[in-house]
Structure 1
């Protein structure tokens, strides 16, 4: 009520003052009303004075239009080049200043942390000293510098309980050994699948908790070991060292020593008849054993040998079912593998023919440890060609081919040293005796005993040439790489991975596999031409160093661990 009266009085007062002229507009200059005085005065537009163009621009204007554009583009490019270092530095600073996200931090931590790696294979030193075993030993020792590594392998000790597990250490590498002698074998299926071995392997994985399992062989173990790793979400890598996944005998070599050039389950059934509980199987064994004994003296033509090996026998249908069950089991196992590694393109191609996806196979040669330098042994007055063989004494290695070839080489022109040991081989119970009979009466042929890996540099220091006479499709022979590391030329069979690694006339010579006369001709060529021998030694191929090989595998492992 009181506020309304106050507003009314103020309104009346303002009206009175306006009536007396107190609030009249003030006069402008020279009596012009204020409103008129405040009006803007019209301003005449003044054209800005044009500045003189710089001399460089005046020079451009004097050019033709096309030339002006070229000059302009060149100037812009020069400015960009001048500013490029500063811009790059600014971008680098911006990236460096970016705050790492939790995801980036986790990824960086995974890339730096040590991995837990398990290698699984059929045998391991000191119980076995073949190529794949020596390779895994060297690889594990190289990986121990950065990671936690363990090896799971099979041993065969008849005095111990079947499937007994033992934890030990070899050369600083933790190893887990499982005893399997096949004393409880009741079916062909038991030769490639063992639930007891798989269960023991699974229990070991639970204790070790690996990031990745690297399989090198499951023969004498179990195809189900791969399933045990996948059930635990572990990455699985499988190196293809031979043909065991395709061929039950592992080397695509029949019992009569003829090559199996293509995979066929029917051929496998005939070849494996002696291991299959089917009618006629044992009779088939006796026939093949007799033929193999004859072939050791008089090799049959390849076509005839293949026709004889494919003759039918009683119980063939049952044998075929057994082989097809094995093939199905192996294919199921392969489906669980994340990445295959093939040391040679030749082996990769054979597995692609069999049905593996080429995109899942990485071709990467094995790594090798460079030995300490060993001085070449002086010749003295002995000018003979010094030939050496290193490896296991089994028929597939073709040691008999080398001895037969050397029977025609004069003792005053060459000498042969054969290092290694005899191992069991199906169908050839006395192969060592056969070799000794071939060497009898030839003083320039000397058969030595087993050797250790550290002995290889010393042996090669006394050699002029290494011979690899294998009659099976070798993959990536260890001895070829050892010879290259020692600058020793190689004479090798001309098929399989050997032809891939030994370049004929560059770092070695190749000859027709299984042909003693062809091998003798290659050796006589080196005897007659010592200049060729020196040229081959100087042109040796490069070898992947084990440390570099381990780093490449680490990248593969980490990719699987992230997945």
Structure 2
């Protein structure tokens, strides 16, 4: 089969679960198929036309970059809706020759960021089937995480609501710099950290009190145009690959009549490393991820601080965020660990008794959940985490629905750590079916179902 994957970029320049997943899937598929990668090109220096420019080769994967892409919003929102669907001129002959000469049958989109709808529409018109993996909610939510301006889960998308959520977001020029090859070059060498600081500032504005008077009718109209653009974009998708049941439910809430299948994702680094868990006098919990509110860390810190003040001292919470180092000033049982490399993740997980994923937003999956369970480590997830599909197969007790529920479960565990050892026994007793080779085969069968 001849497959074209589109992703925002590849490791190590780009990182994150969706990027790693796309890359690992391509590598596995390329063992028995002809695989091409299309990545978002430079955003700082624009060219006159969108083309597929030969970039490099990685093993059996031929890599092309998209010239003159739209600006990916990354983890930010949208301050200028027009910039996200600006008119572009693309080289139809160049793209037609690429598709036809390589006999592309499937175009697998891992994001819509950077790739103009008209290009996908043109490729679909050449007879190529379009697959979309739901790694995030970009296209449904201009702020990408479906949390509104009050920090609560959003149940609708309209121009007024989206304008409120995005009123304080960075400019398109900022995002063009943050996505540029120049910035990645500088960042790699550790010369500047200014943009990283701005990034943190951008996220913290989510809870700022604002109302409809902060935006005008013109910007509301522009957000409505952007939402309609994405609705038309999603209509081009032949089938959706949902990475969790929850993601499927959310997408169906915002888009009607879409067709797809739930297939949990996995990366090549997730293997069967399960082993027995032996807890001694202290339970070591772990949190891996950003300290931002939407990831749930402030809630988690508050609960553990309450427990510590209530006399529960037989625990430690190790936090791996790459943002802080040292012990928490309010709770000495919370330790912020130094940044780590992905190659160290196995050693980190092996030092923990339980991982907690307390996300407030609809996290589409959570690869760290699967990775931890691959080491036999119990995982407590919020009801908003897509990987609860996996956790529920072992013990639904480890899914919490509220802050009170989480606190109650942690109290029970600290009073009886054997609860974690019992969950570990359950994880060990099940067969381990999460493997990139098996997953690749399932995705290939998914492709074939379109023919």
Residue 176 of structure 2: aligned partner: none
Q: Distance in 1 between matches of 2:144 and 2:150?
A: 15
**1:463 equivalent in alignment to 2:352:** yes
**1:189 equivalent in alignment to 2:82:** yes
Q: 1:221 to 1:376 in 2, by over 3 A?
A: farther
**1:446 equivalent in alignment to 2:335:** yes
Q: Distance in 2 between matches of 1:187 and 1:487?
A: 46
Residue 131 of structure 2: aligned partner: 237
Q: SS at the partner of 1:149?
A: strand
Q: Distance in 2 between matches of 1:419 and 1:290?
A: 21
Residue 503 of structure 1: aligned partner: 392
How far the C-alpha of 1:143 sits from its partner, in A, is 0.8
Residue 345 of structure 1: aligned partner: 245
Which of the numbers 307, 311, 319 marks the counterpart of 1:418? 319
Q: 1:293 to 1:340 in 2, by over 3 A?
A: closer
Gaps of 5+ in 1: 1-114, 278-288, 296-304, 422-431
Residue 216 of structure 1: aligned partner: 110
Q: Distance in 2 between matches of 1:175 and 1:233?
A: 22
* Paired residues of 2:356 and 2:381 also in contact (CA < 8 A): yes
Q: Distance in 2 between matches of 1:233 and 1:250?
A: 30
How far the C-alpha of 1:134 sits from its partner, in A, is 1.6
Residue 549 of structure 1: aligned partner: 439
Q: Deviations over 1:508-533 (max 9, x none)?
A: 523345x3x65444323212212211
Which of the numbers 27, 30, 37 marks the counterpart of 1:151? 37
Q: Distance in 2 between matches of 1:527 and 1:352?
A: 39
After TM superposition, the structure 1 = structure 2 runs for residues 127-138 of structure 1, keeping only pairs within 5 Å, are: 127-138=13-24
How far the C-alpha of 1:156 sits from its partner, in A, is 5.6
Counting helix residues as a fraction of each chain, which structure ranks higher? Answer: 1
* Paired residues of 1:392 and 1:420 also in contact (CA < 8 A): yes
Gaps of 5+ in 2: 73-77, 172-200
- Normalised TM-score (structure 2): 0.76
Residue 534 of structure 1: aligned partner: 421
Residue 288 of structure 2: aligned partner: 390
Residue 490 of structure 1: aligned partner: 379
How far the C-alpha of 1:177 sits from its partner, in A, is 3.4
Q: Distance in 2 between matches of 1:332 and 1:526?
A: 49
Q: Deviations over 1:236-270 (max 9, x none)?
A: 11112222121111111124422213334431232
Q: Distance in 1 between matches of 2:339 and 2:61?
A: 23
* Paired residues of 2:315 and 2:414 also in contact (CA < 8 A): yes
* Paired residues of 1:348 and 1:363 also in contact (CA < 8 A): yes
Q: Deviations over 1:109-140 (max 9, x none)?
A: xxxxxx11111122331122211112112211
Bigger Cα displacement from structure 2, 148-157 vs 199-208: 199-208
* Paired residues of 1:270 and 1:316 also in contact (CA < 8 A): no
Q: Deviations over 1:362-393 (max 9, x none)?
A: 222224444263767987xx631111122345
Residue 92 of structure 1: aligned partner: none
Larger Rg: 1
Residue 400 of structure 1: aligned partner: 298
Q: 1:197 to 1:219 in 2, by over 3 A?
A: farther
How far the C-alpha of 1:234 sits from its partner, in A, is 1.0
Q: 1:313 to 1:535 in 2, by over 3 A?
A: same
Q: Distance in 2 between matches of 1:356 and 1:476?
A: 22
* Paired residues of 2:366 and 2:385 also in contact (CA < 8 A): no
Q: Distance in 2 between matches of 1:204 and 1:439?
A: 55
Q: Distance in 1 between matches of 2:298 and 2:81?
A: 31
After TM superposition, the structure 1 = structure 2 runs for residues 241-260 of structure 1, keeping only pairs within 5 Å, are: 241-260=135-154
Q: SS at the partner of 1:263?
A: coil
**1:120 equivalent in alignment to 2:22:** no
Q: SS at the partner of 1:221?
A: coil
How far the C-alpha of 1:339 sits from its partner, in A, is 1.1
Residue 223 of structure 2: aligned partner: 323
Q: Deviations over 1:151-180 (max 9, x none)?
A: 22226675x666795612446643333476
Q: 1:244 to 1:157 in 2, by over 3 A?
A: closer
- Normalised TM-score (structure 1): 0.63
* Paired residues of 1:120 and 1:216 also in contact (CA < 8 A): yes
* Paired residues of 1:152 and 1:175 also in contact (CA < 8 A): yes
Q: Distance in 1 between matches of 2:359 and 2:104?
A: 37
Q: SS at the partner of 1:408?
A: helix
